[in-house]
Amino acid sequence: MLYSVKMRSAKGGAHELGGKHISGAERIVNQEEIERSVQAMIERAFQHERGCADFINLKIEQIVPQNIVYIRQLAISTLAADTMLSGRNAAVEKLINSGVTKAAALSGIEQLAGLSESMHGAMLLSSTTGQRLDAAAQRGIRVSNMDVADLPAYRMVLRNCGLLDMHVREAVVLASKVQSAAGVIAELCWSDDLTYTTGYVANKSGYYRIPHLKLLNSPNGGRAFFIKPDTNIEVLVSYLENTPVLIRPQEKVGC
The site for ligand PML (CB under 6 A) is made up of 167-168, 171, 189, 191, 193, 196, 198-200, 209
CB 204 within 8 A of CB 94: no
Q: What is the rounded CA–CA span in Å between residue 238 and residue 246?
A: 16
Site residues (vs Mg ion, CB under 5 A): 24, 192-193
Nearer CB in complex with Mg ion: 134/192 = 192
Give the residue closest to ligand PML by C-beta: 191
Which does residue 253 bind out of Mg ion, ligand PML, none, counting CB within 5 to 8 angstroms by kind? none
Which does residue 130 bind out of Mg ion, ligand PML, none, counting CB within 5 to 8 angstroms by kind? none
Nearer CB in complex with ligand PML: 196/225 = 196
Which does residue 226 bind out of Mg ion, ligand PML, none, counting CB within 5 to 8 angstroms by kind? none
Residues 6+ apart with CB under 8 A from 11: 19, 20, 22, 50, 51, 52, 53, 54, 55
Min dist CB 239 to ligand PML, Å, is: 20
Nearer CB in complex with Mg ion: 24/130 = 24
Min dist CB 128 to ligand PML, Å, is: 26
Q: What is the rounded CA–CA span in Å between residue 26 and residue 15?
A: 17
Nearer CB in complex with ligand PML: 2/90 = 90
Residues 6+ apart with CB under 8 A from 42: 7, 56, 58
CB 24 within 8 A of CB 171: no
Nearer CB in complex with ligand PML: 89/101 = 89
Which does residue 168 bind out of Mg ion, ligand PML, none, counting CB within 5 to 8 angstroms by kind? ligand PML
Among 48, 222, 18, smallest CA distance to 125 is for 222
Min dist CB 193 to ligand PML, Å, is: 5
Min dist CB 121 to Mg ion, Å, is: 9
Min dist CB 248 to ligand PML, Å, is: 19
Q: What is the rounded CA–CA span in Å between residue 190 and residue 173?
A: 15
Taken as a whole, the chain contains a residue count of 255
CB 70 within 8 A of CB 248: yes
Backbone angles phi, psi at 180, to 5 degrees: -80, -5
Bridge partner list, 56: 9
CB 86 within 8 A of CB 212: yes
Nearer CB in complex with ligand PML: 167/228 = 167
* Type of residue at 18: G
Nearer CB in complex with Mg ion: 47/131 = 47
Which does residue 109 bind out of Mg ion, ligand PML, none, counting CB within 5 to 8 angstroms by kind? none
Min dist CB 145 to ligand PML, Å, is: 16
